Amino acid sequence: MIEINEFDEEEDEIYLPQTIDYLDIEKQYRQLMFMHEAAIEQVTAKLNILKGEFQFSNDRNPISSICSRIKSKESIVYKMQKKGLPFTISALMENIHDIAGVRVICPFIEDVYYVARMLARQPDIEILEVKDYIRDPKENGYRSLHLIVSDNVMFSNTSRGVTVEIQIRTIAMDFWASTEHQLRYKKDKEFSKAAHDTLKHCAELMAEADREIQDLAGDFDLNQW
Ligand code: 0O2
């Protein structure tokens, strides 16, 4: 039985993991990361099977590419600090849902929702939350469909639901988000209002291009699966 215990009752330190019983916490943290890495592998494998199936039996593929990442310790600490959470394993598990992250890039907007529906049909995947930043973009113009899912992972003698954030978006949305991420985190430059406005304008251009391309896809019957 995999046990993940609370590791820090004192809650006054800012680094993860950090407590008196350092080795034990370190072990629990590694175990938690291992579980999330396993979930990433499993979800990625499912998506690769879907992608392969389309490759094999259709003229085109609703999945262009798939990538994944495990959230870094620094990024976890930053997010927990921002949310004012205690630095405990249980707080981490209950509140940070993107330790495991998988991203799926699709040619057309309708493909994004099609992939989401295919995932929802998978017996080992339970959709816990949907954040539709395509229908309801973020203030800065960010667009993407986020699914927070619980993926049932089988370990040696038990199975366990592990949370994974799956981001699904078009090539245009991904181009914008990757560029924005690089610019925003460039440490030696201040992120000015002008930069924010330019990026927001570019997000609108991308969204318009996505809509026009989606209409064309409709004209060419590319969304008939
Ligand atoms: P990284 O580097 O990807 O790990 P919540 O999870 O609901 O408590 P959060 O984190 O605000 O709160 O959720 P949200 O808004 O769904 O964002 C989760 C992830 O979406 C982010 O993770 C980014 O990967 C991506 N994202 C959200 N907003 C933006 C944005 O404005 N620009 C870009 N480029 N990506 C965005 P992290 O932890 O911020 O970063």
Choice from 181, 182, 184 to test ligand 1 binding pocket (greatest atom count within 8 A of CB): 181
Please write the tens of the pLDDT for every residue from 112-158.
Answer: 999 999 999 999 999 999 999 999 999 999 999 999 999 999 998 89
pLDDT category of residue 34 using cuts at 50, 70 and 90: very high
CA distance 54 to 63: 9
pTM of the predicted model as reported, rounded to 2 decimal places: 0.88
For the chain, domains (ranges, CATH) are 9-219 (3.30.460.10)
Question: Which amino acid type is present at position 141?
Answer: G
For strand 100-106 and strand 65-70, is the pairing parallel, antiparallel, or unpaired?
A: antiparallel
Per the structure block, which two tokens stand in for 121? Answer: 């049909």
* Bridge partner list, 152: 161
Q: Would you call the peptide bond into 137 cis, given omega within 30 degrees of 0 as the criterion?
A: no
With a 6 Å cutoff on the Cβ, whether 7 touches ligand 1 is no
With a 6 Å cutoff on the Cβ, whether 179 touches ligand 1 is no
Q: Residue length, the chain?
A: 225
Percent helix, percent strand, percent coil in the chain, to nearest 5: 45, 20, 35
